[in-house]
Amino acid sequence: MAILVTGGTGFIGSHTVVQLLNDGREVVIVDNLCNSKLCVLDRIKSITGKDVKFYKADLLDFEAIDKIFKENDIDSVIHFAGLKAVGESVQKPMLYYHNNITGTLNLTKAMADNGCKKIVFSSSATVYGNPKSVPIKEDFPLSTTNPYGETKLMIERILSDIVKSDPEWSVSILRYFNPIGAHESGLIGEDPKGIPNNLLPYIVKVASGKYDHLSVFGNDYNTHDGTGVRDYIHVVDLANAHLKALDRAAIVTGVEHFNIGTGNGYSVLDIVKAYEKATGLTVKYEIVARRPGDIDACYADPTKAYEVLGWKAQYDINKMCQDSANWQKKNPDGYGE
C-alpha cells in the first residue's frame, strides 16, 4: 500500500516525503517540476537512504494520473501540488484556477475510478481572510481576497461535496499557517524563484548579503510593535502533521479541518531579532508602506489538531531560524540549475 504525494518535490512535499520514508511508509511522488527540481529526489535519498518512485506528470493530464493509480497500489493521497504565489494569481487568475482546480478534479476522479478514497489536502490560513479575532479557530468565517486563496476555498468545498456524495471518503483539510525553516541536514529547503515574496526567505537573503535590506511593510498595524503578526511553523513540524492526518484517515471517514500552526504570533520585527539572535548575522531593515491586502495579525488556535490528531508543533522560532540559515549557508543558490 503506497501513499501518493502530489507536489512531492516541492518545499513542504519534500519534507513530508522524508518524514514518511523515515517512518517506513511506501511513497510514490508525482510532480510536473514547474516549481521544483529533480535533484530533490537525490537529496531525499541522502537523508533517508531510500529511493522513492517518481512520476514526472502534470495533474492536468488525467491519463497520466490514472496510469499512476493503475501501476501502483495507492491507498491514500497527500495533495500538495498547486501554484501558490498570491501576486501571480491576481495577474494570472485563469492559470491558477485551471491548475489548482482542474488538477484537483483530475486527481479526485482518478482516485474515485481506482477506489482510493483517502486524501489529505494542503489548504491555507488564507481561507480565513481578515479574521474577526485571533487566535483563529477552524469554525471562523471563511473568505478570500485573491484567486490563490479562492482556489484553496473552492477545493475545500469540492472535497466536502465529494464526501457528501460518498461517505466512504476520508478528507483531511490542513490549513497551514506560515511554514519556514528547513530539514536540519541542510539538504532540502525552500528555493523560491526570483525575489522572494515571503518574509523569512527575504530575511535569509538580506542576512547573507544578497540583498541590502528588508522592507518592513508597515509599522502602524494593531499589534504589539505595529508590524504584522503571523504564526510561523517549522516545515518539519508541518510535515509531521500529515502523518498524523493519514493515521486518522485510516480509521475515520468524513471531512475534518485542522489549523496547523504553533499558536504563537510573532511580528516582523520579532522575526528580524530572532534571526539575528539565532545566527549572529545582521538583518538591516527599513520601514516602508503597508503591502496591499496584508492584515494585522493571523495566528492559529491549534487545539483541535492536538486533541483529535495528537499533533503539536515541537520546534521554536530559534530552531526555525537556525535551520533556515543552515539551508542558505549550504545552498547559497538553492538547488542551482
- The residues of the shown chain that bind ligand NAD, judged by CB under 6 A, are 7, 9-13, 31-36, 58-60, 80-84, 99, 103, 122, 124, 176, 179
Q: Between residues 35 and 326, which has the closer beta carbon with respect to ligand NAD?
A: 35
Which of ligand UD1, ligand NAD, none lies near 72, with the C-beta cut-off 5 to 8 A by kind?
none
Q: Between residues 111 and 207, which has the closer beta carbon with respect to ligand UD1?
A: 207
Q: Where are the alpha helices (DSSP H) in 72-123?
A: 86-91, 93-96, 103-113
| Residues 60-119 close enough to bind ligand UD1 by CB under 6 A | 86
Tell me if 284 sits within 8 A of 272, measured CB to CB. no
Length of the chain: 337
Is 148 marked active-site?
Answer: yes
Q: How far is CA 266 from CA 179, 199, 228, 296, 300, in A?
A: 13, 12, 8, 11, 12
Cα separation, 48 vs 333, in Å, equals 23
Cα separation, 248 vs 257, in Å, equals 12
| Residues 222-281 close enough to bind ligand UD1 by CB under 6 A | 228, 230, 268
Cα separation, 193 vs 88, in Å, equals 12
Q: Between residues 82 and 218, which has the closer beta carbon with respect to ligand NAD?
A: 82
- Point out the catalytic residue in the list 148, 221, 266, 299: 148
List 36, 123, 126, 172, residue binding ligand UD1 (CB under 6 A): 126
Cα separation, 294 vs 146, in Å, equals 12
Q: Which residues pair with 216 in a beta bridge?
A: 287
CB of 223 to ligand UD1, least distance (A): 9
For residue 166, what is its C-alpha cell?
460518498
Which of ligand UD1, ligand NAD, none lies near 265, with the C-beta cut-off 5 to 8 A by kind?
none
Q: Between residues 54 and 266, which has the closer beta carbon with respect to ligand UD1?
A: 266
Residues near ligand UD1, by CB under 6 A: 86, 124-126, 149, 178, 197-199, 202, 214-217, 228, 230, 268, 291, 293-294, 298
Q: Which residues are catalytic?
A: 148
